[in-house]
Structure 1
Amino acid sequence: MVRIVVRRLLSAIPLLIALSLFVFVLLDLMEGDAARAAAGENATPEEIAAASERLGLDKPLLLRYVLWLGNAVRGDLGESLLSSQSVSALIFERVPVTLSLALVTLVIAVLVGLPLGIAAALRPNSALDRFVTAIASVLMAIPPFVIGLVLVLIFAVSASVFPATGYSALGEEGFGEWLNHLVLPAIALAAISGAELARQTRAAMVDTLGMDFVRTVRAKGLRSPMIVGKHALKNAGVPIVTILGLQASRVLAGAVTVEFVFALPGFGSLAVTAVNQRDIPVILGIVMVSAVGVLIVNLVVDVSYGYFNPKLRR
Protein backbone atom coordinates (compact mmCIF):
# COMPACT_ATOMS: atom_id res chain seq x y z
CA MET A 1 0.00 0.00 0.00
CA VAL A 2 2.86 2.37 0.82
CA ARG A 3 4.40 1.64 -2.58
CA ILE A 4 1.11 2.53 -4.27
CA VAL A 5 1.02 5.88 -2.47
CA VAL A 6 4.65 6.63 -3.33
CA ARG A 7 4.13 5.71 -6.99
CA ARG A 8 1.05 7.92 -7.21
CA LEU A 9 2.88 10.86 -5.63
CA LEU A 10 5.88 10.50 -7.94
CA SER A 11 3.67 10.24 -11.04
CA ALA A 12 1.85 13.39 -9.95
CA ILE A 13 4.99 15.55 -10.27
CA PRO A 14 5.37 15.45 -14.09
CA LEU A 15 1.59 15.73 -14.41
CA LEU A 16 1.51 18.95 -12.38
CA ILE A 17 4.46 20.38 -14.34
CA ALA A 18 2.82 19.58 -17.70
CA LEU A 19 -0.49 21.04 -16.52
CA SER A 20 1.12 24.24 -15.26
CA LEU A 21 3.02 24.73 -18.53
CA PHE A 22 -0.13 24.14 -20.58
CA VAL A 23 -2.14 26.64 -18.52
CA PHE A 24 0.72 29.16 -18.54
CA VAL A 25 0.89 29.09 -22.35
CA LEU A 26 -2.89 29.15 -22.66
CA LEU A 27 -3.17 32.22 -20.42
CA ASP A 28 -0.51 33.98 -22.45
CA LEU A 29 -2.70 33.52 -25.53
CA MET A 30 -5.76 35.05 -23.85
CA GLU A 31 -7.24 38.18 -25.32
CA GLY A 32 -6.43 41.39 -23.48
CA ASP A 33 -3.34 42.86 -21.92
CA ALA A 34 -2.51 42.06 -18.31
CA ALA A 35 -0.15 45.04 -18.12
CA ARG A 36 -2.91 47.39 -19.30
CA ALA A 37 -5.29 45.89 -16.73
CA ALA A 38 -2.72 46.42 -13.98
CA ALA A 39 -1.90 49.97 -15.09
CA GLY A 40 -5.55 51.04 -15.38
CA GLU A 41 -7.99 51.81 -18.15
CA ASN A 42 -6.70 55.34 -18.83
CA ALA A 43 -3.00 54.50 -18.59
CA THR A 44 -0.55 55.97 -21.10
CA PRO A 45 1.70 53.73 -23.22
CA GLU A 46 4.61 54.65 -20.95
CA GLU A 47 2.67 53.58 -17.85
CA ILE A 48 1.65 50.31 -19.52
CA ALA A 49 5.29 49.62 -20.44
CA ALA A 50 6.38 50.38 -16.86
CA ALA A 51 3.70 48.03 -15.49
CA SER A 52 4.79 45.32 -17.92
CA GLU A 53 8.42 45.65 -16.79
CA ARG A 54 7.43 45.72 -13.11
CA LEU A 55 5.37 42.56 -13.45
CA GLY A 56 8.02 40.79 -15.52
CA LEU A 57 5.69 40.51 -18.52
CA ASP A 58 8.37 41.88 -20.85
CA LYS A 59 10.46 38.70 -20.39
CA PRO A 60 10.22 35.71 -22.79
CA LEU A 61 7.42 33.25 -22.05
CA LEU A 62 9.66 30.29 -21.19
CA LEU A 63 11.78 32.38 -18.81
CA ARG A 64 8.66 33.67 -17.07
CA TYR A 65 7.42 30.12 -16.68
CA VAL A 66 10.71 28.85 -15.24
CA LEU A 67 10.81 31.72 -12.75
CA TRP A 68 7.19 31.09 -11.74
CA LEU A 69 7.77 27.34 -11.39
CA GLY A 70 10.83 27.88 -9.21
CA ASN A 71 8.87 30.11 -6.88
CA ALA A 72 5.84 27.78 -6.88
CA VAL A 73 7.99 24.85 -5.75
CA ARG A 74 8.91 26.93 -2.70
CA GLY A 75 5.24 27.68 -2.04
CA ASP A 76 5.27 31.18 -3.52
CA LEU A 77 2.54 31.51 -6.15
CA GLY A 78 3.37 35.14 -6.82
CA GLU A 79 1.34 38.29 -6.33
CA SER A 80 -1.96 39.43 -7.80
CA LEU A 81 -1.40 41.78 -10.75
CA LEU A 82 -4.13 44.11 -9.58
CA SER A 83 -4.13 44.05 -5.77
CA SER A 84 -0.44 43.11 -5.22
CA GLN A 85 -1.62 40.65 -2.55
CA SER A 86 -0.04 37.26 -2.15
CA VAL A 87 -1.80 34.73 -4.36
CA SER A 88 -1.34 32.04 -1.71
CA ALA A 89 -3.03 34.24 0.90
CA LEU A 90 -5.88 35.13 -1.48
CA ILE A 91 -6.53 31.49 -2.29
CA PHE A 92 -6.22 29.95 1.15
CA GLU A 93 -8.50 32.50 2.79
CA ARG A 94 -11.18 31.34 0.31
CA VAL A 95 -10.48 27.59 0.53
CA PRO A 96 -12.42 27.00 3.82
CA VAL A 97 -15.61 28.27 2.18
CA THR A 98 -15.30 25.94 -0.81
CA LEU A 99 -14.25 22.99 1.36
CA SER A 100 -17.27 23.58 3.59
CA LEU A 101 -19.54 23.65 0.55
CA ALA A 102 -17.91 20.49 -0.85
CA LEU A 103 -18.23 18.66 2.48
CA VAL A 104 -21.94 19.43 2.89
CA THR A 105 -22.55 18.61 -0.79
CA LEU A 106 -20.92 15.18 -0.58
CA VAL A 107 -22.71 14.36 2.69
CA ILE A 108 -26.07 15.16 1.08
CA ALA A 109 -25.16 13.20 -2.07
CA VAL A 110 -24.17 10.12 -0.06
CA LEU A 111 -27.12 10.26 2.34
CA VAL A 112 -29.57 10.52 -0.57
CA GLY A 113 -27.89 8.78 -3.51
CA LEU A 114 -26.54 5.68 -1.76
CA PRO A 115 -29.82 4.54 -0.10
CA LEU A 116 -31.83 5.25 -3.25
CA GLY A 117 -29.36 3.25 -5.36
CA ILE A 118 -29.47 0.32 -2.94
CA ALA A 119 -33.27 0.42 -2.73
CA ALA A 120 -33.55 0.42 -6.54
CA ALA A 121 -31.10 -2.49 -6.81
CA LEU A 122 -33.05 -4.59 -4.30
CA ARG A 123 -36.16 -4.30 -6.52
CA PRO A 124 -34.87 -4.20 -10.12
CA ASN A 125 -37.42 -3.23 -12.78
CA SER A 126 -39.93 -2.27 -10.10
CA ALA A 127 -41.81 1.03 -9.94
CA LEU A 128 -39.27 2.31 -7.39
CA ASP A 129 -36.38 1.34 -9.65
CA ARG A 130 -37.91 3.11 -12.65
CA PHE A 131 -38.74 6.17 -10.54
CA VAL A 132 -35.19 6.48 -9.16
CA THR A 133 -33.67 6.01 -12.63
CA ALA A 134 -35.98 8.61 -14.17
CA ILE A 135 -35.42 11.23 -11.48
CA ALA A 136 -31.65 10.66 -11.60
CA SER A 137 -31.63 11.11 -15.39
CA VAL A 138 -33.58 14.37 -15.13
CA LEU A 139 -31.36 15.80 -12.38
CA MET A 140 -28.18 14.93 -14.29
CA ALA A 141 -29.43 17.00 -17.24
CA ILE A 142 -30.00 20.21 -15.26
CA PRO A 143 -26.99 22.52 -14.60
CA PRO A 144 -26.32 23.23 -10.89
CA PHE A 145 -26.79 27.00 -11.26
CA VAL A 146 -30.29 26.47 -12.66
CA ILE A 147 -31.20 24.28 -9.69
CA GLY A 148 -29.67 26.92 -7.43
CA LEU A 149 -31.81 29.72 -8.91
CA VAL A 150 -34.97 27.61 -8.51
CA LEU A 151 -34.08 26.83 -4.89
CA VAL A 152 -33.50 30.53 -4.17
CA LEU A 153 -36.90 31.45 -5.61
CA ILE A 154 -38.70 28.76 -3.60
CA PHE A 155 -36.87 28.62 -0.28
CA ALA A 156 -35.34 32.10 0.01
CA VAL A 157 -37.55 34.55 -1.87
CA SER A 158 -40.99 32.96 -1.47
CA ALA A 159 -40.69 31.05 1.81
CA SER A 160 -37.71 32.79 3.49
CA VAL A 161 -36.57 29.49 4.96
CA PHE A 162 -32.90 29.83 4.03
CA PRO A 163 -30.76 32.89 3.19
CA ALA A 164 -30.38 33.57 -0.52
CA THR A 165 -26.75 34.72 -0.40
CA GLY A 166 -23.77 35.08 1.88
CA TYR A 167 -21.69 32.87 4.13
CA SER A 168 -21.25 32.52 7.88
CA ALA A 169 -17.94 31.12 9.10
CA LEU A 170 -18.18 28.11 11.39
CA GLY A 171 -16.30 29.82 14.21
CA GLU A 172 -18.25 33.10 14.10
CA GLU A 173 -21.99 32.43 14.51
CA GLY A 174 -21.96 28.71 15.21
CA PHE A 175 -22.77 25.48 13.39
CA GLY A 176 -26.42 26.35 12.75
CA GLU A 177 -25.76 29.56 10.81
CA TRP A 178 -22.86 27.96 8.98
CA LEU A 179 -25.05 25.10 7.78
CA ASN A 180 -28.01 27.40 7.13
CA HIS A 181 -26.04 29.38 4.52
CA LEU A 182 -24.71 26.22 2.83
CA VAL A 183 -27.89 24.14 2.51
CA LEU A 184 -29.21 25.63 -0.75
CA PRO A 185 -25.90 25.81 -2.67
CA ALA A 186 -25.01 22.32 -1.42
CA ILE A 187 -28.33 20.90 -2.62
CA ALA A 188 -27.80 22.58 -6.00
CA LEU A 189 -24.44 20.83 -6.35
CA ALA A 190 -25.54 17.57 -4.74
CA ALA A 191 -28.42 17.06 -7.18
CA ILE A 192 -26.16 15.85 -9.99
CA SER A 193 -23.69 14.11 -7.69
CA GLY A 194 -26.42 12.28 -5.78
CA ALA A 195 -28.16 11.28 -9.02
CA GLU A 196 -24.94 9.88 -10.50
CA LEU A 197 -24.13 8.09 -7.26
CA ALA A 198 -27.62 6.54 -7.15
CA ARG A 199 -27.31 5.26 -10.73
CA GLN A 200 -23.85 3.80 -10.23
CA THR A 201 -24.77 2.26 -6.87
CA ARG A 202 -27.83 0.67 -8.41
CA ALA A 203 -25.80 -0.80 -11.30
CA ALA A 204 -23.00 -2.09 -9.03
CA MET A 205 -25.41 -3.58 -6.51
CA VAL A 206 -27.54 -5.33 -9.15
CA ASP A 207 -24.40 -7.04 -10.50
CA THR A 208 -23.19 -7.99 -7.03
CA LEU A 209 -26.56 -9.28 -5.78
CA GLY A 210 -26.68 -11.64 -8.76
CA MET A 211 -23.35 -13.31 -7.91
CA ASP A 212 -23.06 -16.87 -6.62
CA PHE A 213 -21.69 -15.95 -3.19
CA VAL A 214 -24.76 -13.79 -2.50
CA ARG A 215 -27.08 -16.66 -3.38
CA THR A 216 -25.01 -18.89 -1.10
CA VAL A 217 -25.23 -16.63 1.96
CA ARG A 218 -28.92 -16.09 1.25
CA ALA A 219 -29.46 -19.86 1.16
CA LYS A 220 -27.78 -20.08 4.57
CA GLY A 221 -30.58 -17.94 5.97
CA LEU A 222 -28.70 -14.66 6.36
CA ARG A 223 -31.07 -11.71 6.59
CA SER A 224 -31.26 -9.17 3.78
CA PRO A 225 -29.80 -6.20 5.73
CA MET A 226 -26.73 -8.29 6.63
CA ILE A 227 -26.35 -9.50 3.03
CA VAL A 228 -26.49 -5.95 1.70
CA GLY A 229 -24.40 -4.25 4.39
CA LYS A 230 -21.70 -6.84 5.06
CA HIS A 231 -21.31 -8.63 1.75
CA ALA A 232 -22.89 -7.00 -1.30
CA LEU A 233 -22.09 -3.36 -0.54
CA LYS A 234 -18.43 -4.07 0.21
CA ASN A 235 -18.00 -6.06 -3.00
CA ALA A 236 -19.68 -3.27 -4.96
CA GLY A 237 -17.53 -0.68 -3.20
CA VAL A 238 -14.88 -0.11 -5.89
CA PRO A 239 -17.17 1.43 -8.56
CA ILE A 240 -19.13 3.31 -5.89
CA VAL A 241 -16.00 4.86 -4.37
CA THR A 242 -14.69 5.62 -7.87
CA ILE A 243 -17.79 7.59 -8.82
CA LEU A 244 -17.75 9.32 -5.43
CA GLY A 245 -14.18 10.46 -6.09
CA LEU A 246 -15.19 11.76 -9.51
CA GLN A 247 -18.09 13.64 -7.96
CA ALA A 248 -15.76 15.23 -5.40
CA SER A 249 -13.71 16.61 -8.31
CA ARG A 250 -16.90 17.73 -10.07
CA VAL A 251 -17.99 19.63 -6.98
CA LEU A 252 -14.86 21.78 -7.22
CA ALA A 253 -15.72 22.61 -10.84
CA GLY A 254 -19.37 23.25 -10.07
CA ALA A 255 -18.47 25.57 -7.21
CA VAL A 256 -17.43 28.23 -9.75
CA THR A 257 -21.01 28.88 -10.89
CA VAL A 258 -22.85 27.98 -7.68
CA GLU A 259 -20.70 30.26 -5.51
CA PHE A 260 -21.32 33.07 -7.96
CA VAL A 261 -25.11 32.53 -7.80
CA PHE A 262 -25.17 32.44 -3.99
CA ALA A 263 -22.49 35.13 -3.51
CA LEU A 264 -20.27 32.81 -1.49
CA PRO A 265 -16.74 34.21 -0.95
CA GLY A 266 -15.10 30.96 -1.96
CA PHE A 267 -12.64 29.50 -4.39
CA GLY A 268 -15.04 29.57 -7.34
CA SER A 269 -16.01 33.23 -7.05
CA LEU A 270 -12.32 34.14 -6.82
CA ALA A 271 -11.73 32.24 -10.07
CA VAL A 272 -14.50 34.16 -11.85
CA THR A 273 -13.08 37.50 -10.67
CA ALA A 274 -9.53 36.55 -11.66
CA VAL A 275 -10.58 35.50 -15.18
CA ASN A 276 -12.60 38.68 -15.70
CA GLN A 277 -9.65 40.82 -14.60
CA ARG A 278 -7.07 38.69 -16.42
CA ASP A 279 -5.14 38.25 -13.19
CA ILE A 280 -2.77 35.57 -14.47
CA PRO A 281 -0.95 34.68 -11.21
CA VAL A 282 -4.26 34.18 -9.39
CA ILE A 283 -5.66 32.03 -12.22
CA LEU A 284 -2.50 29.93 -12.25
CA GLY A 285 -2.62 29.52 -8.48
CA ILE A 286 -6.27 28.46 -8.58
CA VAL A 287 -5.61 25.90 -11.30
CA MET A 288 -2.65 24.39 -9.46
CA VAL A 289 -4.38 24.23 -6.08
CA SER A 290 -7.41 22.65 -7.77
CA ALA A 291 -5.16 20.12 -9.49
CA VAL A 292 -3.49 19.21 -6.20
CA GLY A 293 -6.92 18.82 -4.61
CA VAL A 294 -8.08 16.48 -7.38
CA LEU A 295 -4.88 14.44 -7.09
CA ILE A 296 -5.39 14.10 -3.33
CA VAL A 297 -8.96 12.89 -3.88
CA ASN A 298 -7.76 10.37 -6.47
CA LEU A 299 -5.04 9.17 -4.09
CA VAL A 300 -7.60 8.62 -1.32
CA VAL A 301 -9.80 6.70 -3.76
CA ASP A 302 -6.87 4.54 -4.88
CA VAL A 303 -5.92 3.75 -1.28
CA SER A 304 -9.53 2.86 -0.43
CA TYR A 305 -9.50 0.20 -3.16
CA GLY A 306 -7.29 -1.90 -0.90
CA TYR A 307 -10.08 -2.13 1.67
CA PHE A 308 -12.68 -3.30 -0.84
CA ASN A 309 -10.33 -5.59 -2.78
CA PRO A 310 -7.35 -6.98 -0.79
CA LYS A 311 -5.66 -8.10 -4.04
CA LEU A 312 -5.07 -4.45 -4.90
CA ARG A 313 -2.93 -3.90 -1.79
CA ARG A 314 0.05 -5.57 -3.43
Structure 2
Amino acid sequence: MDNLTFRYSVLLVEGLQVTPQSNKLTFIFLLIAYVFVMVSNIGILIQISAEKSLHQPMHILYCHLPVSDIMGSTVVIPRLLKDLLTDPSERYITYVECVFQAFFAHLYGTTAHTILMIMAFDRYVAICNPLRYPTIMSNKMIVKLSAGAWVAAVVPVSVLIGLSVRLSQCRSVIQNHFCDNPSLFKLSCESTMINNIYGLTFTVVLLTSSLGWVLLTYLKIVMVCIKSKNKATNSKAIKTCSTHLTVYLILIIFGFVPIFLHRFSDYAESRKFGSVMFYAIPPGLNPIIYGLQAKEIRQRMLKLCRKKVYSN
Protein backbone atom coordinates (compact mmCIF):
# COMPACT_ATOMS: atom_id res chain seq x y z
CA MET A 1 0.00 0.00 0.00
CA ASP A 2 1.54 3.30 -1.04
CA ASN A 3 1.51 6.37 1.15
CA LEU A 4 -1.02 8.24 -1.00
CA THR A 5 -3.57 5.41 -0.78
CA PHE A 6 -3.10 5.12 2.96
CA ARG A 7 -3.36 8.83 3.43
CA TYR A 8 -6.72 9.17 1.72
CA SER A 9 -8.37 5.75 1.99
CA VAL A 10 -7.31 4.23 5.32
CA LEU A 11 -7.16 5.94 8.68
CA LEU A 12 -5.60 4.99 12.00
CA VAL A 13 -7.89 5.28 15.03
CA GLU A 14 -6.25 6.43 18.24
CA GLY A 15 -8.73 4.45 20.34
CA LEU A 16 -9.07 4.21 24.10
CA GLN A 17 -5.81 4.53 25.99
CA VAL A 18 -6.24 1.81 28.62
CA THR A 19 -3.62 -0.15 30.54
CA PRO A 20 -3.17 -3.88 29.83
CA GLN A 21 -4.62 -4.59 33.29
CA SER A 22 -7.84 -2.65 32.65
CA ASN A 23 -8.14 -3.64 28.98
CA LYS A 24 -9.97 -6.91 29.75
CA LEU A 25 -12.27 -5.27 32.30
CA THR A 26 -13.17 -2.53 29.81
CA PHE A 27 -13.85 -5.14 27.13
CA ILE A 28 -16.06 -7.23 29.45
CA PHE A 29 -18.01 -4.18 30.65
CA LEU A 30 -18.67 -2.91 27.12
CA LEU A 31 -19.61 -6.40 25.90
CA ILE A 32 -22.10 -6.93 28.73
CA ALA A 33 -23.49 -3.43 28.24
CA TYR A 34 -23.94 -3.97 24.49
CA VAL A 35 -25.59 -7.38 24.90
CA PHE A 36 -27.96 -5.94 27.50
CA VAL A 37 -28.81 -2.97 25.26
CA MET A 38 -29.64 -5.26 22.36
CA VAL A 39 -31.65 -7.81 24.36
CA SER A 40 -33.65 -5.28 26.39
CA ASN A 41 -34.47 -2.92 23.52
CA ILE A 42 -35.33 -5.68 21.06
CA GLY A 43 -37.42 -7.32 23.79
CA ILE A 44 -39.40 -4.10 24.32
CA LEU A 45 -39.98 -3.75 20.58
CA ILE A 46 -41.19 -7.35 20.27
CA GLN A 47 -43.56 -6.94 23.21
CA ILE A 48 -45.11 -3.75 21.87
CA SER A 49 -45.48 -5.14 18.35
CA ALA A 50 -46.89 -8.51 19.50
CA GLU A 51 -49.35 -7.22 22.12
CA LYS A 52 -52.40 -5.48 20.59
CA SER A 53 -53.24 -3.75 23.87
CA LEU A 54 -49.92 -1.88 23.55
CA HIS A 55 -50.76 -0.48 20.12
CA GLN A 56 -51.41 2.95 21.60
CA PRO A 57 -49.88 6.28 20.47
CA MET A 58 -47.69 6.53 23.59
CA HIS A 59 -46.15 3.09 23.07
CA ILE A 60 -45.91 3.40 19.29
CA LEU A 61 -44.01 6.69 19.57
CA TYR A 62 -41.75 5.16 22.20
CA CYS A 63 -40.77 2.39 19.73
CA HIS A 64 -38.59 4.90 17.92
CA LEU A 65 -36.40 5.29 21.01
CA PRO A 66 -35.27 1.62 21.17
CA VAL A 67 -34.54 1.75 17.43
CA SER A 68 -32.40 4.85 17.98
CA ASP A 69 -30.68 3.28 21.02
CA ILE A 70 -29.85 0.10 19.10
CA MET A 71 -28.47 2.18 16.23
CA GLY A 72 -26.30 4.33 18.51
CA SER A 73 -24.84 1.44 20.48
CA THR A 74 -24.24 -0.72 17.40
CA VAL A 75 -22.39 1.96 15.47
CA VAL A 76 -19.94 2.64 18.32
CA ILE A 77 -19.53 -0.24 20.79
CA PRO A 78 -18.73 -3.22 18.49
CA ARG A 79 -15.97 -1.18 16.85
CA LEU A 80 -14.57 -0.28 20.28
CA LEU A 81 -14.62 -3.96 21.28
CA LYS A 82 -12.68 -4.85 18.15
CA ASP A 83 -10.13 -2.08 18.77
CA LEU A 84 -9.57 -3.24 22.37
CA LEU A 85 -8.46 -6.60 20.99
CA THR A 86 -6.27 -4.99 18.32
CA ASP A 87 -2.79 -3.58 18.67
CA PRO A 88 -2.92 0.27 18.79
CA SER A 89 -0.71 0.46 15.70
CA GLU A 90 -3.17 -1.63 13.67
CA ARG A 91 -6.51 -0.01 14.48
CA TYR A 92 -7.31 0.88 10.88
CA ILE A 93 -10.62 2.05 9.48
CA THR A 94 -11.46 3.07 5.93
CA TYR A 95 -12.47 6.65 5.30
CA VAL A 96 -15.91 5.56 4.05
CA GLU A 97 -16.51 3.50 7.20
CA CYS A 98 -15.41 6.46 9.30
CA VAL A 99 -17.89 8.77 7.57
CA PHE A 100 -20.75 6.31 8.11
CA GLN A 101 -19.83 5.85 11.77
CA ALA A 102 -19.71 9.62 12.31
CA PHE A 103 -23.07 10.07 10.57
CA PHE A 104 -24.93 7.44 12.60
CA ALA A 105 -23.20 8.42 15.85
CA HIS A 106 -24.49 11.99 15.49
CA LEU A 107 -27.84 10.76 14.18
CA TYR A 108 -28.34 8.78 17.40
CA GLY A 109 -27.69 11.80 19.59
CA THR A 110 -30.05 13.95 17.53
CA THR A 111 -32.92 11.45 17.22
CA ALA A 112 -32.79 10.81 20.96
CA HIS A 113 -33.81 14.45 21.44
CA THR A 114 -36.37 14.68 18.63
CA ILE A 115 -38.07 11.42 19.67
CA LEU A 116 -38.36 12.56 23.29
CA MET A 117 -39.81 15.85 22.01
CA ILE A 118 -42.67 14.10 20.18
CA MET A 119 -43.22 11.89 23.22
CA ALA A 120 -43.52 15.06 25.34
CA PHE A 121 -46.15 16.33 22.90
CA ASP A 122 -48.08 13.07 23.30
CA ARG A 123 -48.05 13.41 27.11
CA TYR A 124 -49.13 17.06 26.82
CA VAL A 125 -52.16 16.18 24.68
CA ALA A 126 -53.10 13.20 26.87
CA ILE A 127 -53.10 15.25 30.08
CA CYS A 128 -54.11 18.72 28.90
CA ASN A 129 -56.66 17.64 26.25
CA PRO A 130 -57.80 14.15 27.30
CA LEU A 131 -61.20 14.34 25.57
CA ARG A 132 -59.60 15.30 22.25
CA TYR A 133 -56.68 12.89 22.60
CA PRO A 134 -58.06 10.14 20.29
CA THR A 135 -58.85 12.75 17.65
CA ILE A 136 -55.56 14.63 17.84
CA MET A 137 -53.31 11.56 18.17
CA SER A 138 -54.72 9.78 15.14
CA ASN A 139 -52.74 7.33 13.03
CA LYS A 140 -52.05 10.14 10.57
CA MET A 141 -50.64 12.35 13.34
CA ILE A 142 -48.46 9.51 14.65
CA VAL A 143 -46.98 9.03 11.18
CA LYS A 144 -46.35 12.78 10.86
CA LEU A 145 -44.68 13.00 14.28
CA SER A 146 -42.57 9.91 13.64
CA ALA A 147 -41.44 11.08 10.21
CA GLY A 148 -40.81 14.57 11.55
CA ALA A 149 -38.60 13.27 14.36
CA TRP A 150 -36.35 11.39 11.93
CA VAL A 151 -36.32 14.00 9.16
CA ALA A 152 -35.48 16.73 11.69
CA ALA A 153 -32.46 14.64 12.64
CA VAL A 154 -31.31 13.23 9.29
CA VAL A 155 -31.24 16.54 7.37
CA PRO A 156 -29.06 18.64 9.74
CA VAL A 157 -26.76 15.69 10.50
CA SER A 158 -26.31 15.09 6.76
CA VAL A 159 -25.30 18.74 6.31
CA LEU A 160 -22.98 18.48 9.34
CA ILE A 161 -21.10 15.47 7.95
CA GLY A 162 -21.27 16.78 4.38
CA LEU A 163 -19.40 19.94 5.36
CA SER A 164 -16.57 17.78 6.72
CA VAL A 165 -16.48 15.38 3.77
CA ARG A 166 -16.01 18.29 1.33
CA LEU A 167 -12.63 19.12 2.91
CA SER A 168 -9.40 17.70 1.55
CA GLN A 169 -7.28 15.51 3.83
CA CYS A 170 -3.72 16.06 4.99
CA ARG A 171 -3.76 13.73 8.02
CA SER A 172 -4.49 10.04 8.49
CA VAL A 173 -4.98 9.68 12.25
CA ILE A 174 -8.37 9.87 13.98
CA GLN A 175 -7.52 11.53 17.28
CA ASN A 176 -10.43 9.94 19.04
CA HIS A 177 -11.72 6.50 20.05
CA PHE A 178 -14.31 6.51 17.26
CA CYS A 179 -15.17 8.63 14.26
CA ASP A 180 -17.30 11.72 14.81
CA ASN A 181 -17.63 15.05 13.02
CA PRO A 182 -14.70 16.83 14.76
CA SER A 183 -12.51 13.80 14.00
CA LEU A 184 -13.36 14.11 10.32
CA PHE A 185 -12.72 17.82 9.81
CA LYS A 186 -9.53 17.65 11.91
CA LEU A 187 -8.08 15.46 9.14
CA SER A 188 -7.95 18.55 6.95
CA CYS A 189 -5.46 21.41 6.90
CA GLU A 190 -8.04 23.76 5.36
CA SER A 191 -10.03 26.33 7.28
CA THR A 192 -12.75 24.66 9.35
CA MET A 193 -14.47 27.87 10.45
CA ILE A 194 -17.69 26.98 8.59
CA ASN A 195 -17.68 23.53 10.21
CA ASN A 196 -17.21 25.01 13.68
CA ILE A 197 -19.92 27.65 13.19
CA TYR A 198 -22.45 25.18 11.80
CA GLY A 199 -21.59 22.54 14.42
CA LEU A 200 -21.99 25.02 17.27
CA THR A 201 -25.21 26.44 15.80
CA PHE A 202 -26.61 22.95 15.25
CA THR A 203 -25.83 21.91 18.85
CA VAL A 204 -27.27 25.10 20.36
CA VAL A 205 -30.46 24.92 18.27
CA LEU A 206 -30.98 21.24 19.06
CA LEU A 207 -30.46 21.60 22.81
CA THR A 208 -32.39 24.88 23.05
CA SER A 209 -35.39 23.56 21.12
CA SER A 210 -35.31 20.26 23.01
CA LEU A 211 -35.03 21.80 26.47
CA GLY A 212 -37.45 24.59 25.61
CA TRP A 213 -40.11 22.24 24.26
CA VAL A 214 -39.87 19.80 27.17
CA LEU A 215 -39.98 22.63 29.73
CA LEU A 216 -42.94 24.26 27.99
CA THR A 217 -44.99 21.06 27.80
CA TYR A 218 -44.23 20.13 31.40
CA LEU A 219 -45.05 23.62 32.61
CA LYS A 220 -48.48 23.35 31.02
CA ILE A 221 -48.93 19.85 32.41
CA VAL A 222 -48.06 21.07 35.91
CA MET A 223 -50.54 23.95 35.58
CA VAL A 224 -53.30 21.53 34.57
CA CYS A 225 -52.48 19.21 37.48
CA ILE A 226 -52.57 22.13 39.92
CA LYS A 227 -55.99 23.25 38.68
CA SER A 228 -57.36 19.70 38.64
CA LYS A 229 -58.87 18.29 41.83
CA ASN A 230 -58.87 14.70 40.60
CA LYS A 231 -56.12 12.99 42.60
CA ALA A 232 -56.28 9.78 40.55
CA THR A 233 -55.78 11.70 37.28
CA ASN A 234 -52.92 13.73 38.75
CA SER A 235 -51.26 10.60 40.11
CA LYS A 236 -51.43 8.92 36.70
CA ALA A 237 -50.09 12.05 35.00
CA ILE A 238 -47.16 12.28 37.41
CA LYS A 239 -46.34 8.61 36.91
CA THR A 240 -46.35 8.70 33.11
CA CYS A 241 -44.49 12.02 32.99
CA SER A 242 -41.85 10.90 35.50
CA THR A 243 -40.85 8.07 33.15
CA HIS A 244 -40.38 10.41 30.21
CA LEU A 245 -38.63 13.04 32.33
CA THR A 246 -36.23 10.48 33.84
CA VAL A 247 -35.25 9.19 30.40
CA TYR A 248 -34.76 12.77 29.21
CA LEU A 249 -32.61 13.76 32.20
CA ILE A 250 -30.39 10.71 31.71
CA LEU A 251 -29.88 11.71 28.08
CA ILE A 252 -29.01 15.29 29.04
CA ILE A 253 -26.60 14.30 31.83
CA PHE A 254 -24.65 11.73 29.83
CA GLY A 255 -24.69 13.99 26.78
CA PHE A 256 -23.29 16.98 28.66
CA VAL A 257 -20.46 15.09 30.40
CA PRO A 258 -18.21 14.70 27.30
CA ILE A 259 -19.13 18.22 26.12
CA PHE A 260 -18.10 19.65 29.50
CA LEU A 261 -14.86 17.64 29.63
CA HIS A 262 -13.96 18.95 26.16
CA ARG A 263 -13.05 22.20 27.92
CA PHE A 264 -10.28 20.52 29.91
CA SER A 265 -7.42 18.98 27.92
CA ASP A 266 -6.10 17.20 31.01
CA TYR A 267 -9.23 15.05 31.06
CA ALA A 268 -9.01 13.82 27.47
CA GLU A 269 -9.26 10.14 28.43
CA SER A 270 -12.08 10.82 30.87
CA ARG A 271 -13.92 12.57 28.05
CA LYS A 272 -13.49 9.49 25.88
CA PHE A 273 -14.97 7.22 28.52
CA GLY A 274 -17.72 9.75 29.13
CA SER A 275 -18.71 9.69 25.46
CA VAL A 276 -18.62 5.87 25.47
CA MET A 277 -21.07 5.91 28.38
CA PHE A 278 -23.38 8.08 26.27
CA TYR A 279 -23.75 5.17 23.85
CA ALA A 280 -24.01 2.50 26.56
CA ILE A 281 -25.81 3.78 29.67
CA PRO A 282 -28.91 5.63 28.31
CA PRO A 283 -29.70 2.85 25.77
CA GLY A 284 -29.42 0.33 28.61
CA LEU A 285 -31.45 2.28 31.18
CA ASN A 286 -34.24 3.45 28.87
CA PRO A 287 -35.96 0.05 28.43
CA ILE A 288 -35.66 -0.65 32.17
CA ILE A 289 -37.20 2.68 33.18
CA TYR A 290 -39.92 2.54 30.56
CA GLY A 291 -40.66 -1.17 31.01
CA LEU A 292 -41.02 -0.89 34.79
CA GLN A 293 -43.13 2.28 34.69
CA ALA A 294 -45.46 1.34 31.82
CA LYS A 295 -48.20 -0.69 33.50
CA GLU A 296 -49.19 -2.61 30.37
CA ILE A 297 -45.61 -3.63 29.56
CA ARG A 298 -44.88 -4.53 33.18
CA GLN A 299 -47.97 -6.74 33.35
CA ARG A 300 -47.03 -8.37 30.06
CA MET A 301 -43.53 -9.13 31.36
CA LEU A 302 -44.89 -10.62 34.61
CA LYS A 303 -47.34 -12.73 32.63
CA LEU A 304 -44.52 -14.13 30.47
CA CYS A 305 -42.42 -14.84 33.56
CA ARG A 306 -45.27 -16.72 35.23
CA LYS A 307 -45.85 -18.81 32.10
CA LYS A 308 -42.16 -19.71 31.99
CA VAL A 309 -42.12 -20.69 35.68
CA TYR A 310 -45.26 -22.83 35.33
CA SER A 311 -43.95 -24.52 32.19
CA ASN A 312 -40.72 -25.43 33.99
TM-score (ref. length: structure 1): 0.30
The structure that has the greater radius of gyration is 1
TM-score (ref. length: structure 2): 0.30
